[in-house]
Structure formats: structure tokens, C-alpha cells
């Protein structure tokens, strides 16, 4: 994946390439796995002190290539405002295939789809 941070003030960008075989997705109530995957690819704001003195940057993750196997982990736990662990029991909409739009995959990638082969459910 390509992680791009861009200063909102001067526009300076830094790019980091990271290899992943698994991704952790935030459980979004009523959302499909496709939407949860899209959520981590959506541009976010972060606090970062740039050399120009500004404190706010944009961060964007993009797939450069798709791995042969990608493990998606849906985070079913969150912390409450009092820092207690809470299990989320929202149902998850799961389809047999995830589409990754062409803007997130380089043109060298032969197939912009991820096929779901297996689903594991762990109860605690």
C-alpha cells in the first residue's frame, strides 16, 4: 500500500510504501465489508508538524498492487469514553467479491477484484 501524507498548508507530500498481508477494518454499523474497506482508503486528516510550521495534513492510503491473499480483520471491540472494552454486535454484510476501484489499483494489476474464499468467526 502507498501511504501519502500531504501538508494542508504548503502541499509538501511524503510517501511511504508498506507491505500488508492483512488489514484491520473498523466495524461500521450497517456497512458491508466493501464499505469498511473503502473507509480505510478514504482520505483523513491528521495532526502532523510540517517543516513549514503547519500542524494539519491529509493522509491517503492506496493499493499499489493487490496481494494474492489478503486477510481482512473486522475489529469488533472498541473502547467506551471511560476506556472500558465494549464488544460490537452489529451484523456485517458480506458479499462474495470485493471490488477495488481502478483509482486504487495501478494499471499493472491484472484483476481489480478480491474474491472472498473463507470467513472465520471467533467468539469471545
Contact between 46 and Zn ion per CB under 5 A? no
3-state secondary structure 21-78: CEEEEECCCCCEHHHHHHHHHCCEEEECCCCCCCCEEEEEEECCCCCCCCEEEEECEE
What is d(CA 60, CA 83) in angstroms, rounded to the nearest whole number? Answer: 28
d(CA 7, CA 112): 30
Query: Which part of the chain contacts Zn ion (CB under 5 A), choosing from 11-19, 71-79, 93-101, 104-112?
Result: 11-19
- Which residue of 15, 46, 52, 71 would you call a contact of Zn ion, by CB under 5 A? 52
Q: For Zn ion, which is the closer residue by CB, 28 or 54?
A: 54
Asked if 50 interacts with Zn ion (CB under 5 A), we say yes
- Among the residue ranges 17-25, 42-50, 86-94, 102-110, the one whose residues contact Zn ion (CB under 5 A): 42-50
C-alpha cell at 85: 472494552
Count the residues of the shown chain that bind Zn ion, applying the rule CB under 5 A. 7
Residue 105 in contact with Zn ion, rule: CB under 5 A: no
Q: Which residues here bind Zn ion, judged by CB under 5 A?
A: 7, 9-10, 12, 50, 52, 54
Amino acid at each position: 500500500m502507498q501511504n501519502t501524507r500531504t501538508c494542508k498548508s504548503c502541499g509538501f507530500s511524503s510517501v511511504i510504501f508498506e507491505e500488508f498481508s492483512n488489514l484491520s477494518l473498523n466495524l461500521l454499523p450497517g456497512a458491508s465489508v466493501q464499505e469498511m474497506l473503502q473507509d480505510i482508503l478514504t482520505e483523513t486528516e491528521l495532526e502532523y508538524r510540517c517543516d513549514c510550521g503547519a500542524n494539519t495534513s491529509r493522509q491517503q492510503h492506496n493499493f499499489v498492487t493487490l496481494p494474492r491473499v489478503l486477510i481482512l480483520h473486522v475489529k469488533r471491540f472498541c473502547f467506551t469514553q471511560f476506556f472500558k472494552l465494549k464488544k460490537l454486535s452489529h451484523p456485517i454484510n458480506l458479499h462474495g467479491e470485493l471490488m477495488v476501484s481502478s483509482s486504487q489499483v495501478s494499471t499493472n494489476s491484472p484483476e481489480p477484484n478480491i474474491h472472498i474464499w473463507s470467513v472465520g468467526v471467533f467468539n469471545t
